[in-house]
Amino acid sequence: MKGLHIHGVSHAFDGLRILNNVSFTVPAGELVCLLGPSGSGKSTLLRIAAGLERLQEGRVTIDDEVVADPSSQVAPEHRRIGLMFQDYALFPHLNVLDNVTFGLPAAKSATARARALDLLEQVGMTDHIEKYPHMLSGGQQQRVALARALAPKPRLLLLDEPFSGLDTSMRAVIRKETVSVLRDSGVATLMITHDPEEAMYMADRIKILGNGGRVLQQGTPSEIYYHPVDEFVATLFGPVNRFEGIVTAGAVESPLGRIDTAGMDEGSKVDVLIRPEGLMLGTENGAHGGVPVEVLSTRLLGNSNSILLKRAGEDGPEFQARVTEDFDPFEVGPILARIDARHAFVYRKEEAEPGPGPVCSQVKYGTTADQGGKA
Amino acid sequence: MEAFQSRSFSAAQVKAAFVRADGWTLGTIVLTLAAVIPVAAVVGIAFTPGDDIWGHLVSTVLPTYISTTLQLGTGVGAGTLIIGVGTAWLVTTCRFPGRKIFEWALLLPMAMPAYVIAYVYTDILEYAGPVQETLREIFGWTTKREYWFPEIRSLGGAISMMTLVLYPYVYLLSRAAFMEQNICVLEASRVLGRGPWRSFFTVALPVARPAVVVGVTLVLMETLNDFGTVDFFAVSTFTLGIFDVWMNMNNMAGASQLASLLLFFVILLVLLERFGRRKQRFHHTTTKYKALPGYKLSRGRETLVFIACALPVVFGFLLPSGVLVGFAVVFFEDAANFKVLGYAINSIGLSALAAVLAVGIAIFMAYGVRMHGGKILKPVTRVATLGYAVPGAVLGVGVIVALTTLDNGIDAFMLSTFGISTGLLFSGSIAAVTFGYMVRFLALSYGTVEASLTKITPNMEGAARSLGHGPASTLRRVHMPLMKGSVLTAAMLVFVDCMKELPMTVILRPFNFETLATFVHQFASDEQLEEASIGALAIVISGILPVLLLSYAIARSRPGQETAGQAT
């Protein structure tokens, strides 16, 4: 089968495990994102796939050719891969055209030049072929780096945080262009990032790499977003409301209503996570339903409102909600809140956990990742 | 399953470590061994029982060698410390006419080998020289007994000569340290009520101390290395002792024993230098560029400061090179001939060969370290580049010992196997001289190349490798173009030092083979400086190249300085 296969790769630096039995596939024509916090070993995995880091354990194949196992390594220059660095690593002593032809056989030939010009046209850099890297903006450098990596028609393209060097306004544009160039080329692409939104936007499939170098979940963006396997994955997309509960009659009781817990043992302790966008607010007049809540504060975040609330008339926990409509809860009168089940997740509590778990709803990668690793 | 995994894991690591023993690693280790052999040979011979004259040396000349060397070291150390730190401070913090020029002119004496300036001053200051002649004419003296005049060919003379040409090391490093100091610290000291002088002694100098230590250490290494001056002045230092035992007594073991003892002093110096450099790091934390205070001076003080800065330049460079130019013009017909041209060609050819090889080896080793990580190779290369600290005389003896052993081995092997006697193949050949240069100056090229290589992000080779280029092609097409400037600098530094090199050349050169340095030394020793003037000038001129480069680099390294300086 075409594409990249990672089989049971483990890696350690000075006795510290960076990758732990990682396996996955990047089929030809697909864009796979490896999403994980810094320190999760995703860069190491990319370097192993490229051949820049020596494989310690496991196997890497590209298009059914074994390129690395513990006994032999194909040098990076013989793997026929493309690699794009976070800092682009354009050769400063070569102009744009020479950078792009660098990886082509007979770089000075007319064929090489034609191929390079073709790619530079795809990325919209035809007007700049005589320029040197230092004369280009960050976005332009990124385009040249992409063209350079694609020029030799690699079997696999590896992207290392390709957009992190760009400012926010530029990032969206470049991201869109890059996706379209990659779609046209049909190359198997593995991209690593720590930005969940970027992964959701770019990827056909996402692999979540947790601390300790273990793949926690793989799936399409919507699978990952709507069915996170554990707290760590659920909290990748932002802070959540979080409380503990006990399963009674196939559901767990919360101050804002019951949440279905199908398949969980009666009486087991659970953690409940509700995304801010999972709290739906409405007025008593509408056919909305829910429990009455008291709004404590509201902050306009631009395209949404962040609202702090609690159940009316109770001293219960506070909840964070996010609503997109133009909404002034202090004017519309009594508010009802209900939970959107798609954004509420229930996980069985770890019994072995000594002492109380973190009660803060603010997510910290470190603590949740530890739990994920032991799962 | 778990146990199986962990076992295969360690097996993989073993494998990985094994695979790394490739061409670059092997090559680096072989080159390092080659670089270490001369020193090892010296120590080896010294401790081999044989026709031992150690007892004889200890009871006769050794105490003199030690005390003379210590006196010379103390004198030159103190002299360069005062001149180097003093001028650096004045140029960095005071505003006076000509300061911009002095900033680089104070480096010029670096271009003068100590032996050249020694010949020139002897010519001027000896009994028959112009100075004493003028004095005699003025005061009507007729014989030497009627007046006192300092004897230039003495320990004091040697101290003066070396101080005059070596102080730029201290100047260079302490000036850099003064400039990198956070000026706010100095200003704080002023605000707290300490005047410029007290601020200097209580704040600026202590903070710059590590750099000053490194500078003085380098000076002392050069002092131990000197042969031409002490030979000419007949000052019995260790280096001269090694030559004496080697050339006149023809005793290899005795020379090696002296050399080993000298090595001991050198090790102390290397440790001192390392210590200084380690501490230096603490003080280079600020990246703030701020205009230096620029003390305004009164007219009288301005003149004093100007004279203080001018004296070292005049006596260390202008006067001696002026005398040489004068000789070269007046005695042009005697001085310019085909023989000198031949020696120049010898010098240039040999130095160029050594420069190319030293840079090539440096690139090979530095790139190998970069590719394979520093764990094994980095300490190895540090050993390989220790030669810079070893005096030329010691290395010369070591190279001869090593090559003679090699020659004898080859000869014995060829004789027993093929019945052919090969005789001495390497000893007393160009190869021997080149090898010696290489060992001594590898540190220069390696340091320059390595510094330049670390400025290139590793992603460069990652990109090149993923684009289908192997290590060699990546080096050629990516790193070499990026390092071009530094590679040229490295080659030039080695070239110039080889042009000046005297003690090793004297020991290692083939019979009747002269370089400019040996020729100048030979003729000047015979009081025929006029005829050697063009040769000496050629050495000085080649020595100016790195000085110009250095001052250019300094001027560029502190962008804030340009405007601040022009305001004066």
Is the Cβ pair B470, A80 closer than 8 Å? no
How many cross-chain Cβ pairs, A to B, lie less than 8 Å apart? Answer: 88
Query: Could you give the count of Cα atoms lying within 13 Å of A293 in the half-sphere of its Cβ?
Result: 31
| pLDDT of B293 over the 70 cut | no
Residue B386 identity (one-letter amino acid): L
Query: What is the arithmetic mean of pLDDT over B19-25?
Result: 64
| Angle formed at CA A281 by CA A278 and CA A287, multiple of 5 degrees | 115
Q: Which of residues 5-34 of B touch A (CB under 8 A)?
A: 5, 8-9, 11-13, 15-16, 19
Cβ-in-10-Å burial (0-12, 13-18, 19+) of B193 comes to exposed
Q: What is the rounded CA–CA span in Å between residue B265 and residue B225?
A: 12
Q: B191-215 pLDDT, tens per residue?
A: 776 777 777 777 778 878 888 888 8
Reported as a pLDDT band with limits 50, 70 and 90, residue A67 is very high
Same domain, B465 and B356: yes
Torsion angle in degrees (nearest 10) through CA of B187, B192, B194, B198? -70
Same domain, B167 and B299: yes
Q: How many CB atoms lie within 10 A of CB B198?
A: 12
In a domain, B544, yes or no: no
In this complex, which of A85, A91, A152 lies closest to B478 when CB atoms are compared? A91
Beta bridge partners of A305: A300, A323
Instruction: Tell me what the mean pLDDT of segment B276-302 comes to.
Output: 62
DSSP letter assigned to residue B94: B
In a domain, B165, yes or no: yes
Does any domain span residue B534? no
d(CA A70, CA A58): 7
Distance of CA B257 to the CA centre of its chain: 24
Q: Within an 8 Å CB–CB cutoff, is residue B466 touching chain A?
A: yes
CA distance A165 to chain B (A): 15
Q: Is residue B388 part of a domain?
A: yes
Task: Name the band, by pLDDT with cuts 50, 70 and 90, for residue A359.
Answer: very low
Looking at the fold, whether B36 and B56 belong to one and the same domain comes out as: no
Nearest to A191 by CA among A159, A156, A165: A159
**What are phi and psi for residue A326, nearest 5 degrees?**
-65, 115
- A230–chain B nearest CA distance, Å: 25
Q: pLDDT at residue A357 above 90?
A: no
Tell whether B357 and B425 lie within a shared domain.
Answer: yes
Of B122 and A373, the structure prediction assigns the larger pLDDT to B122
Contacts of A73 in chain B (CB under 8 A): 19
Gap between the Cα atoms of B479 and B486, Å rounded: 11
Least Cα separation, residue B463 to chain A (angstroms) = 7
The 3-state DSSP class for residue B491 equals helix
Contact B467 A152 (CB under 8 A): yes
Q: Are B28 and B364 in contact (CB under 8 A)?
A: yes
Q: Note whether B343 and B462 are same-domain residues.
A: yes
**The pTM is what?**
0.78
User: Cβ B465–A51 below 8 Å, yes or no?
Assistant: yes
Beta carbons of A179 and A33 less than 8 angstroms apart? no
Question: Taking the CB of residue B450, how many other CB atoms lie within 10 A of it?
Answer: 21
CB atoms within 10 A of CB B453: 18
Local confidence band at B291 (pLDDT 50, 70, 90 cut-offs): low
pLDDT of residue B312: 95
Domain segments of chain A: what residues?
Answer: 3-226, 239-366
The architecture of the domain spanning A3-226 is 3-Layer(aba) Sandwich (3.40)
Q: What's at A71, amino acid-wise?
A: S
Number of domains in chain B: 2
Asked if residue B418 and residue B283 are part of one domain, the reply reads: no
Do the Cβ atoms of B462 and A76 come within 8 Å?
yes
Report if residue B563 sits inside a domain.
no
* C-alpha distances in Å from residue B455, one per residue of B122, B363, B448, B452, B460: 47, 14, 11, 5, 11
pLDDT, tens digit (0-9, with 9 covering 90-100), for B371-394:
876 677 788 887 888 888 888 888
Say whether both B201 and B142 belong to one domain: yes
Label residue B331 by pLDDT band (50, 70, 90). Answer: confident
Residue of B467, B474, B476 to mutate, testing the A interface (most A Cβ within 10 Å of its Cβ): B467
Do B413 and B449 fall into the same domain?
A: yes
Q: What is the pLDDT of residue B276?
A: 73
3-class SS of residue B181:
coil
- Cα separation of B174 and B164, whole Å? 17
What is the structure's pLDDT at B6?
A: 37
For residue range A198-253, what is the model confidence (pLDDT) as tens digits? 899 999 999 999 888 889 999 999 999 999 998 889 988 888 998 888 888 888 88
ipTM above 0.95, yes or no: no
Residue B561, pLDDT above cutoff 70: no
Q: Higher pLDDT residue, B568 or A34?
A: A34
**Which residue(s) pair with A241 in the sheet?**
A274
- B308 in the same domain as B183: yes
Q: Which amino acid is at B444?
A: L
- With the C-alpha atoms ordered B35, B37, B40, B46, is the resulting torsion angle positive or negative? negative
Cα–Cα distance measured from residue B514 to residue B349, given in angstroms and rounded to the nearest whole number: 12
CB within 8 Å: A103 and B5: no
Check CB contact under 8 Å for A91 and B11: no
Output the 3-class SS for chain A: CCEEEEEEEEEEECCEEEEEEEEEEEECCCEEEEECCCCCCHHHHHHHHHCCCCCCEEEEEECCEEEEECCEECCHHHCCEEEECCCCCCCCCCCHHHHHHCCCCCCCCHHHHHHHHHHHHHCCCHHHCCCCHHHCCHHHHHHHHHHHHHCCCCCEEEEECCCCCCCHHHHHHHHHHHHHHHHHHCCEEEEEECCHHHHHHHCCEEEEEECCCEEEEEECHHHHHHCCCCHHHHHCCCCCEEEEEEEECCEEEECCEEEECCCCCCCCEEEEEECHHHEEEEECCCCCCCEEEEEEEEEECCCCEEEEEEECCCCCCCEEEEECCCCCCCCCCCEEEEECHHHEEEEECCCCCCCCCCCCCCCCHHHHHHHHHHC
Q: Which of B15, B481, B482 sits opposite A70 (nearest CB)?
A: B15
Burial of B266 (0-12, 13-18, 19+ CB in 10 A): buried
B455 interfacial to chain A (CB closer than 8 Å): no
Of A12, A77, A149, the CB nearest to B465: A77
The answer to whether B452 and B486 are in contact (CB under 8 A) is yes
Residue B211 lies in a domain: yes
* Structure token pair of residue B427: 């000893």
Question: For an interface test with B, which of A18, A73, A81, A85 has the most B Cβ atoms less than 10 Å from its Cβ?
Answer: A85
Which residues, other chains included, contact B438 with Cβ-Cβ below 8 Å and sequence gap of 6+?
B35, B354, B357, B358, B361
Question: In chain B, which residue's Cα lies nearest the Cα of A10?
Answer: B9
Q: Chain B 362-401, CB below 8 Å of chain A: which residues?
A: none
* The predicted structure's pLDDT at residue A351: 56
Q: Tens of pLDDT along A315-334?
A: 878 888 888 766 666 666 77
Q: Is the Cβ pair B460, A89 closer than 8 Å?
A: yes
Measured between beta carbons, which residues in chain B are less than 8 angstroms from residue A47?
Answer: 462
Q: Quick check: B78 contacting A, CB < 8 Å?
A: no
Same domain, B34 and B56: no
| pLDDT tier at B564, thresholds 50, 70, 90 | very low
Closest CA to B429 of B401, B403, B461, B463: B403
Instruction: Name the H helices within B126-251.
Output: 130-139, 155-180, 183-191, 196-199, 205-225, 228-233, 238-243
Q: Look at A91 and B460 and tell me if their CB atoms are within 8 Å.
A: yes
What is the dihedral sign for C-alpha A107, A112, A115, A121? positive
Domain hosting residue B27, numbered range: 20-43+332-529
Rounded Cα–Cα distance for residues A12 and B9 (Å): 9
Q: What confidence tier does B556 reach under pLDDT thresholds 50, 70, 90?
A: low
Same domain, B304 and B413: no
Residues of A within an 8 Å Cβ radius of B: 10, 12, 21, 47, 50-52, 54-57, 70-71, 73, 75-83, 85-87, 89-93, 102-103, 105, 148-149, 152, 158
CA A231 to chain centre: 15
User: What 3-state DSSP class applies to B428?
Assistant: coil
The residues, any chain, with a CB within 8 Å of residue B88's CB and separated by 6 or more, are B170, B171, B172, B174, B175, B178
Q: Do residues A370 and A290 touch, judged by C-beta distance below 8 A?
A: no
List CB contacts (< 8 A) between A56 and chain B. 9, 12-13, 16
**Which residues are CB-neighbours of A299 under 8 A, at least 6 positions away?**
A305, A306, A307
Task: Kindly state whether residue B10 falls inside one of the protein's structural domains.
Answer: no
Question: Which of A70, A85, A90 faces B462 most closely, judged by CB atoms?
Answer: A85
- Over residues B428-477, the pLDDT tens digits come to 788 999 999 999 999 889 988 888 888 888 899 899 999 999 888 999 99
Alpha helices, DSSP H, located in B373-429: 374-384, 392-418
Q: What is the mean predicted confidence (pLDDT) over B20-46? A: 82
Residue A188 pLDDT greater than 90, yes or no: yes
Region A176-186 average pLDDT: 89
Tell me whether residue A69 is exposed, middle or buried, using C-beta atoms within 10 angstroms of its C-beta: 0 to 12, 13 to 18, 19 or more.
middle
**Which residue in B has a C-alpha nearest to residue A147's C-alpha?**
B467
Length of chain B: 568
Cα separation, B116 vs B228, in Å, equals: 8
More confident residue, A302 or A325: A302
Q: Residues of B with CB below 8 A from A57's CB?
A: 5, 8-9, 12
The enclosing domain of B428 has a CATH number of: 1.10.3720.10
Verify whether the Cβ–Cβ distance A148 to B463 is below 8 Å.
yes
Q: Answer whether residue B196 is part of any domain.
A: yes
Interacting residues of B203 by C-beta distance below 8 A, sequence separation 6+: B185, B186, B189, B194
Question: Do the Cβ atoms of A361 and A320 come closer than 8 Å?
Answer: yes
The dihedral of CA A260, A261, A263, A267: what is its sign? negative
**Which of B293, B319, B345 lies at the terminal end of a domain, its last residue?**
B319
Check: CB of residue A15 under 8 Å from CB of residue B10.
Answer: no
> Model confidence at A140, in pLDDT bands (50, 70, 90)?
very high
Mean pLDDT of B250-260: 83
Taking the alpha carbons of B90, B96, B100, B101 in that order, is the dihedral positive or negative? negative
Average pLDDT of chain B to the nearest whole number: 82
Give the pLDDT score at A100. 94
For residue B3, the model assigns a pLDDT of 37
**A-chain residue closest to B8, CA distance:** A57
Chain A residue with the nearest C-alpha to that of B7: A57
Cα-flanking dihedrals φ and ψ of residue B546, to 5°? Answer: -65, -30
What DSSP state is assigned to residue B315? Answer: I
Mean pLDDT (whole number) for B39-66: 81
Burial of A268 (0-12, 13-18, 19+ CB in 10 A): middle
Cβ of residue B463 closer than 8 Å to a chain A Cβ: yes
CA A163/CA B7 separation, integer angstroms: 40
What secondary structure letter does DSSP report for B295? B
Between CA A137 and CA A146, with CA A143 as vertex, the angle to 5 degrees is: 140
